[in-house]
Amino acid sequence: METYKVIRHFRDSSRRLTVKTGLTLEQAQAHCSDPETSSSTCTIERGKRRTRRSGAWFDGYTREV
């Protein structure tokens, strides 16, 4: 079975952060569809703090090798 991981991408740097691993495609897509997984749409304080600290960011997914 293929598994996927969610990676947080930061616009102003090459920094990448693995957020979750071992997900099904459906789980990875659901995570990335959540408005809280992008600096442009997040509303919770934790996401807003991350944006103030690190600049624009978003979560994307890729297949694990």
Query: What digits encode the pLDDT tens for the residues 41-60?
Result: 999 999 999 999 999 999 99
Residue type, 7: I
Query: What digits encode the pLDDT tens for the residues 1-40?
Result: 899 999 999 998 888 999 999 999 999 999 999 999 999 9
Longest dimension (CA), the chain: 38
Domain tally for the chain? 1
Per the DSSP assignment, residues forming a β-bridge with 62 are 5
Structural domain including 38 reads: 4-63
Q: In degrees rounded to 5, what are phi and psi of residue 30?
A: -65, -45
Please say whether the beta carbons of 29 and 51 come within 8 A.
Answer: no
